[in-house]
Amino acid sequence: MSFSNSDRNIQAKIGRMFPTQQELKQMSSMALAEAIAYMLDLEFRGNHSMAKSIMACTGANERTVKNWISAKNAPNAEALIALMSGSEVVLMSVLYLAGREELMQAKVQSDILSVLMQLLKLMQGQ
C-alpha cells in the first residue's frame, strides 16, 4: 500500500505542539489503546472532523478510527506507522513509549538544525 503526497497535509492546523514531559509520563502508565487515543486527541484537538482527518492519513474505515479515538482498540502496525508518518506528536510519543528518548532528542535537534539552515538561506538571499 502506498500513500499519496497529500497524506501529509492532515497535520493539525494550529501548529506543532509536542507533548510535555508530564503528558509523556502520563502516557507511559496507560495501556497502548489509551495512549494512542490520548496522542490523537493531542494532535487533532479542536478539529471537528478528527475521525475523517485520521482516516485520510491511515486509510482505515471510520468505525475503526472511532474505536482508536475512544481507546477501545489500538491501531495495527501498518496504521500506527501511517499515523507516525503524518503526526509529529504520535511519532515522538511512540519513541517515548518505546524508551527511545535519545531518538526523540536527535529528532528535535535535527528539526532545529533544519530551521536554522532555512533561516541562514533566507538571510543570504537578502
| Residue ranges with strand state E in the chain | none
Cell for 23? Answer: 503528558
Q: Which residues contact 89 (CB under 8 A, 6 or more apart)?
A: 16, 17, 18, 19, 39, 42, 43
Q: CA 68: distance to chain centroid? A: 14
> What is the distance in angstroms between the CA of the first residue and the CA of the last residue of the chain?
43
In which band, very low, low, confident or very high, does the pLDDT at 22 lie, cut at 50, 70 and 90?
confident
At residue 82, the pLDDT reads: 92
C-alpha cell at 97: 513509549
Between 11 and 121, residue with greater pLDDT: 121
Record the cell numbers describing residue 55, joined without a space: 482516516
pLDDT at 33: 84
Q: What pLDDT, on a 0 to 100 scale, did the predictor assign at position 18?
A: 63
pLDDT on residue 117:
92
Q: Which pLDDT score, from 0 to 100, does residue 34 have? A: 87
More confidently predicted of 55 and 6: 55
Structure confidence at residue 17 (pLDDT): 61
Band of pLDDT at residue 63, cut at 50, 70 and 90: very high
Torsion angle of alpha carbons 111, 42, 27, 65, nearest 10°? -110
